[in-house]
Amino acid sequence: MSTRLKTGGRLIDRTRQVEFSFNGKRLKGLAGDTLASALLANDQMLMGRSFKYHRPRSVVTSDASEPNALFNLGQEGQFEPNARGTMTELFDGLEAASQNHFPSLEFDVGAINARFARFLPAGFYYKMFIHPRPFWKHIYEPFIRQSAGLGKAPKARDASTYEHFHVHCDLLIVGGGIAGLQAALTAGRAGREVLLFEQTPHWGGRAVVDGAVIDGQPAEAWVTAALQALEAMPNVKLRARTMGAGVYDHGYALGYERLSDHAPGAPGPRHRLWRIRAGHIIAATGAIERPLSFAGNDVPGVVLASALRDYVVNWGVSLGDRTVIVTNNDDAYRTALVLKDAGLEVPAIIDARAAGGGALADEARKRGVRIETGKGINQVKGGKRVTGVSLCAQAGEGAALEEIACDCVAMSGGWSPVVHLWSHCGGKLLWDAEAAMFRPDPARGPTGADGMPFVTTAGAASGPMTTAGVLADATEAAGGGDVPFAEEPAAAPLEPVWMMPQGASYKLRTKAWLDFQNDVKVSDVQLAAREGFESVEHAKRYTTLGMATDQGKLSNINGLAVLANELGTDIPAVGTTTFRPPYTPISMGSIAGEARGEMFQPLRKTPMHDWHAANGAHWEPVGHWRRPYTFLRAGESVEEAVAREVKNTRQALGLLDASTLGKIIVKGPDAGRFLDMMYTNMMSTLKPGRCRYGLMCSENGFLIDDGVVARLGEDTWLCHTTTGGADRIHGHMEEWLQTEWWDWKVYTANVTEQYAQIAVVGPNARKVLEALGGMDVSAEALPFMAWADGTIGGFAVRAYRISFSGELSYEIAVPAGQGRALWDALLEAGEVFGVMPYGTEALHIMRAEKGFIMIGDETDGTVIPQDLGLHWALSKKKDDYLGKRAQARTHMDNPDRWQLVGLETLDGSVLPDGAYAVAEGTNENGQRNMQGRVTSTYHSPTLGRGIAMGLVHKGPERMGETLTFPKVDGTEVSARIVSPVFYDPDGEKQNV
Amino acid sequence: MLILTCPSCGEAKDETELAPGGEAHLTRHGPGSADIEFEAYLFHRQNPKGVHFERWRCAAGCGKWFHAARCTATNEVFGTYSAQVTAPPKEIHEAIAARRPDWEVPS
Amino acid sequence: MSERVHEGLVTLREMPRRGMITLRGDLGDRTLRRAVEAGVPMPERGRLTVAGARMAAWMSPDELLLMAPHEAILADIATLRTALAGSHHLVEDVSDARCLMRLEGEAVLEVLAKLSPVDFRDFGEGRFRRTLLAQVACAIGMVSPHTVDLIAFRSVTDYVWAVLENANDRAAPVGHF
């Protein structure tokens, strides 16, 4: 059984108990435990089930590479799936639940899949579920949905908060082991500005566990001294619990700081995402031990040799009383020595190398440990727990020689440098055959803005696996300097072992796991190779090797070695899959940062926003603005409110908050000439004091914006844009001024937000302005399409006589700070004239009744002014304007286009928005041909029936024809082609 | 996530502060141009793997456009320069030549 | 509108409306420089200048932002327009188009670094930079040590306040700068 040892555990505090629960069971751990070490201390070896076969799973590692010990943590707003128990610090009240089991962890019906494992080989899903087709939707998918997936998706809203932090530094060092610390010391002493991250709460990495001796003192003491020295350097910043998650172009890197995962409920953000711009990055990310591929290597109790040391040394936890060690290198012998020191039994060390190990092996032998060289494990005995192993010759096919009873197996297949950060942005690897590892190729690092490499690896991440080698490499990586002295027992060389035994039978290979999380076995990769998935990327996707939360940290190298072997090629020829950030999963919350709730998006408010909110505004998002769609009164439906607003505006007086319309000042000696290029109309001839409706096209000829232009003075114009177009059109103007006509003397200024603008609309519009008193707003003084500065009700205003509704209408602009006061004054003075504010829907209906187009409704980026019958707005006198040349292209200058018409349903109903008119015949897909579509459609309260505009093939030539529009519900509606101007076609109402 | 120096601000800007504008040094063809010229102006782009001249706007900064010479394969930046030129200046050519001796001006 | 105050890592304050003028023109032109310098020293690229209640900030190679007490703004505009008459220029009142926040305290840059991608390492007194604050455009000016004025568009005042207040949470110190 796994248990807490009487002594040892450098990270735990035996005086402080911590209570937590696992699957509802209350358990006790110690301060300093991880969830994994605490579960082991409670003899809870079984921690979850595998993905495909629901095999019992326990920890294999003690660190970030853990594939098995995944948990659902917490409840409700604190719930998080797929948390690695090895990286979860224990705290009082922690609630953990195992994943991927049904109905319970101990008894899982899905485990029956394992009985059928030979019917569920690689690619099974692809082969099985393709026929018959309807089965997918109705049978296969629902079944797979229920059984697939690891953790549960959170259901409650995340109760935590998150933030970003942008930082620039000269040197970012990732990894707080002795390599990272030595690199930071070296760079810090050289005066460089250093930021050092360590993903765990503890510094020192493996060296402190493995008892390295540095400069004559234990590694632990050296680390403490190094930290003191670094903390004293003002140019060095240290940050624990922060993972270097990813490296991107131009020195951009992400750090993932876990502020309160270990102390939930603490105030402040849970995670902080560091968005770093580093001049240079040192990846001192260490190495990951590889498993060995033998039958039954996934049985709980089989762990990495280094992880077993960690549990004993760091947390005083043993996984079993009798541990068999199986290895192809010297490092695993350290585990034997640690176990012996802890008073635990090591019945045998099985060394696959015929020649056995070096100095560490001699020491183990001296301590009385039996060592079997040239041997391997034929099979692990046991189901939910290791009960023993059977030995075989490594060279053979796996004939059992002997059984050894044990309750734990520690395996070591060698070490792989953690090259992720090196590789994220394009650093290349080379295959080191002697050490049997991919390591960074220093000649082909990821390059930055200057074309020079900007990532360097340091320590084990570069390849060296000895203390002395690590320290020397780290010093060099940071620019060179004094290297601390370290000496180690001489090691015998590692011997690559990709399968154990070397000639393992098919039966054994089907039980030798490569990927513990996704249940990929040696036989699966071999099958993939035989079926033609020869590229490592294809084999990965076919078998799921290296997918899901651990992304193959343990399995990739073993898997591609098996693939290479099966393909009869060598490992570098197969290569690795792509290393993509983040290194381990990071929270979605940290990526969002503060952008949630009211901060999800900026919300733009007009100066009258608060009035709207307090007076029943039913909001419509328009870009980032919120505009009132209509103002709801008690007991009213939205449709009723809109109809009321339209009728009242047509009959009495309406007010519209038009502040969101774009307002751009264009000024300079060449301003007129410039606007003549920007607009299809002639703007240079506009008289000061007058307004003109203008159209803007892109160089492609398509209509992009419209609005009223007012000439303010001899060299100054004010261009109104659509609400959504203000920034875009200002940018469009600046683009042409800066990049094409940079010698033209024109300045622009976007003054959209400087002004509040209120449309005063309806037969009583003039009366209310006259009641407020001030400037002359008579038809003579301020005729249609004129503007004037003056005062109204004591406000300094600019009044425009323009109309988007067809009624008598003024748009009154004041500085935004006075917008609300003017709005209030108009409401008060308008009371006797029947004033009523109206929203965007009433605005849309009234413009549609008049046949005025709306950018974004009648236009969609493929519509030219000619399609909309706007020829009158295209100046014939101008040689050039943006879009003119494009509009002369053959398919543009062509009557055979869909053109704007009005549509009137025969039954008076409202046409569905976006409905298509069908024509004779069908296309090559058997669909009915189309001859037009609805672009705007409303119920007109004024006319008491549905009105619509649409683009119809040669529409204007077909007045009076009836078109058929199929509806979504299968019925059809007929509509007659009519003029798009439904109301007051002669414009008598606006021009009074 | 690029960093480019805005020549107007004289400062390094994060890609989030910038807006891309496609290929630089296009010649405008307006009314009177041949269909083939106009088509090329509107649609034909170099899209090279390697050295590219492109337009950027310092959108969250000074609002000015500038040009950048960048390797599209490695993101190496050879320099940024004024948008008010019709061809890359000499120092940009020299910076490219220093790093890409075999590069030739595309026709 | 009542001006808000939030005490956190720094003191965050919504400031009353300040007079602001957009001036576009040839910043090297002697007439223009003389007109500006009648009120406040000409700012260099990336900087702002202060003279009493007036400030000038460099917005772009052909644009300055001139600031003054709001009541002085109409007169200032008239003076500038007169002084620049005959030269190519643009002078516009933008006082009502902007909101203004002041951050005071030792951690001002740390609070801003949560929201802006700016390299704040050398951001000392007199620096002025246009950038992003979370998702909106802003300008950040270091008016004196540990005092930053932040200018953004009026329509997003509440958003700007919300993200600044959030970043200013006393329980969220970074301790980096």
| Strands A94-98 vs A13-22: parallel, antiparallel or unpaired | parallel
Query: What pLDDT does A125 receive?
Result: 67
Q: How many angstroms away from the CA of C82 is the closest CA of chain A?
A: 15
For the segment C72-114, what is each residue's pLDDT rounded down to a tens digit?
999 999 999 999 999 999 999 999 999 999 999 999 999 999 9
Q: Coil, strand or helix: which one is A480?
A: coil
B96 sits in which H/E element: helix B90-99
The two tokens of residue A764 are: 């009583």
Cα atoms found within 13 Å of the Cα of residue A60, Cβ hemisphere only:
30
- Which residue type does C129 have? R
Confidence bin at A153 (pLDDT 50/70/90): confident
pLDDT for A113 beyond 80: no
| Lowest mean pLDDT across A45-49, A438-442, A758-762, C19-23 | A45-49
For the segment A410-447, what is each residue's pLDDT rounded down to a tens digit?
999 999 999 999 999 999 999 999 999 999 999 999 99
Q: Give the separation between CA B64 and CA A868, rounded to whole angstroms.
A: 35
Q: Give the separation between CA A732 and CA A739, rounded to whole angstroms.
A: 11
Query: What pLDDT does A106 receive?
Result: 77
Q: How many angstroms away from the CA of A744 is the closest CA of chain B?
A: 12
Query: What pLDDT does A118 receive?
Result: 64
Query: What pLDDT does A24 receive?
Result: 95
The two tokens of residue A742 are: 């940079």
Average pLDDT, chain A: 95
Give the number of other Cβ atoms within 10 Å of residue A66's Cβ: 27
Percent of chain A with pLDDT strictly greater than 90: 90
For the segment A842-855, what is each residue's pLDDT rounded down to a tens digit?
999 999 999 999 99
Calculate mean pLDDT across residues A962-966.
97
| Lowest mean pLDDT across A127-141, A457-471, A821-835 | A127-141
- Closest CB to A594: pick one of C92, C134, C153: C134
Q: Which residues of C touch A816 (CB under 8 A)?
A: 96-97, 154
pLDDT for A116 beyond 70: no
For the segment A861-899, what is each residue's pLDDT rounded down to a tens digit?
999 999 999 999 999 999 999 999 999 999 999 889 999
- Looking at chain C, which residue has its C-alpha nearest residue A259? C172
pLDDT for A264 beyond 60: yes
Cα atoms found within 13 Å of the Cα of residue A647, Cβ hemisphere only:
11
Q: Are A866 and A920 in contact (CB under 8 A)?
A: no
Q: Are A510 and A523 in contact (CB under 8 A)?
A: yes
- Looking at chain B, which residue has its C-alpha nearest residue A742? B84
Query: What pLDDT does A421 receive?
Result: 98
Calculate mean pLDDT across residues A918-928.
94
Calculate mean pLDDT across residues C107-128.
97
Q: How many angstroms away from the CA of A742 is the closest CA of chain B?
A: 7
- Which residue type does A144 have? I
Does residue A582 have a cis peptide bond before it, meaning omega lies within 30 degrees of 0?
yes
Burial-class residue A296 by CB neighbours within 10 Å (0-12, 13-18, 19+).
buried
The two tokens of residue A634 are: 């008690």
Q: How many angstroms away from the CA of C144 is the closest CA of chain A?
A: 22
Query: What pLDDT does A159 receive?
Result: 93
Query: What pLDDT does A149 receive?
Result: 60
Query: What pLDDT does A115 receive?
Result: 65
Q: How many angstroms away from the CA of B72 is the closest CA of chain A?
A: 11
Classify C116 in phi/psi space as left (phi over 0), alpha (psi -120 to 50) or beta. beta
Verify whether the Cβ–Cβ distance C97 to A269 is below 8 Å.
Answer: no
- Closest CB to A168: pick one of C121, C135, C172: C121
Helix, strand counts (H, E) of chain C: 4, 11
The two tokens of residue B94 are: 């020299």
pLDDT for C1 beyond 80: no
- pTM comes to 0.95
At a CB cut-off of 8 Å and minimum separation 6, what does A569 contact? Answer: none
pLDDT for A731 beyond 70: yes
Ordered alpha helix ranges (H), A534-627? 536-543, 556-567, 571-574, 588-592, 609-614
At a CB cut-off of 8 Å and minimum separation 6, what does A902 contact? Answer: A851, A947, A948, A949, A977, A978, A979, A980, A981, A982
Which DSSP letter does residue C87 get? S
Q: Coil, strand or helix: which one is C55?
A: strand
For the segment A357-409, what is each residue's pLDDT rounded down to a tens digit?
999 999 999 999 999 999 999 999 999 999 999 999 999 999 999 999 999 99
At a CB cut-off of 8 Å and minimum separation 6, what does A594 contact? Answer: A161, A162, A163, A164, C114, C115, C134, C163, C166, C167
The two tokens of residue A360 are: 């560490």
- Closest CB to A268: pick one of C98, C172, C176: C172
pLDDT for A970 beyond 80: yes
Query: What pLDDT does A144 receive?
Result: 64
Mutate to test the interface with C, among A274, A600, A604 (most CBs of C within 10 A): A604
pLDDT for A739 beyond 60: yes
Verify whether the Cβ–Cβ distance C159 to A599 is below 8 Å.
Answer: yes
Which DSSP letter does residue A862 get? S
Query: What pLDDT does A117 receive?
Result: 65
Which DSSP letter does residue A140 get? I
Q: Give the separation between CA A729 and CA A718, rounded to whole angstroms.
A: 13
Calculate mean pLDDT across residues A168-185.
98
Q: Are A912 and A967 in contact (CB under 8 A)?
A: yes
Tokens 């200058």: give the residue.
Answer: A893
For the segment B8-55, what is each residue's pLDDT rounded down to a tens digit?
999 999 999 999 999 999 999 999 999 999 999 999 999 999 999 999
Percent of chain A with pLDDT strictly greater than 70: 97
Confidence bin at A150 (pLDDT 50/70/90): confident
Calculate mean pLDDT across residues A801-816.
96
Touching C (3+ Cβ pairs <8 A), the chains are A, B
Confidence bin at A255 (pLDDT 50/70/90): very high
Of A718, A54, A910, the C-alpha closest to C92 is A718
Q: Give the separation between CA B32 and CA B37, rounded to whole angstroms.
A: 10
For the segment A786-802, what is each residue's pLDDT rounded down to a tens digit?
999 999 999 999 999 99
Confidence bin at A139 (pLDDT 50/70/90): confident
The torsion defined by the Cα of A212, A215, A219 and A224, in degrees rounded to 10, comes to -170
| Strands A194-197 vs A162-174: parallel, antiparallel or unpaired | parallel
Cα angle value A594/A597/A601 (rounded, 5°): 70
Query: What pLDDT does A589 receive?
Result: 96
Query: What pLDDT does A466 receive?
Result: 96
For the segment B61-101, what is each residue's pLDDT rounded down to a tens digit?
999 999 999 999 999 999 999 999 999 999 999 999 999 99
Q: Is A600 on the interface with C (CB under 8 A)?
A: no
List, edge to edge, every strand of the sheet that includes C136-144.
C5-7, C11-14, C98-104, C147-153, C136-144, C128-133
Query: What pLDDT does A145 receive?
Result: 62
Confidence bin at A671 (pLDDT 50/70/90): very high
Q: Give the separation between CA C156 and CA A571, rounded to whole angstroms.
A: 57
Cα angle value B55/B60/B64 (rounded, 5°): 45
Q: Give the separation between CA C57 and CA C43, rounded to whole angstroms.
A: 6
Could you give phi then psi for residue A199, rounded to 5 degrees?
A: -75, -25
- Which residue type does A580 have? R
A96 sits in which H/E element: strand A94-98
Calculate mean pLDDT across residues A614-622.
97
Query: What pLDDT does A104 receive?
Result: 76
Q: Give the separation between CA A647 and CA A951, rounded to whole angstroms.
A: 28
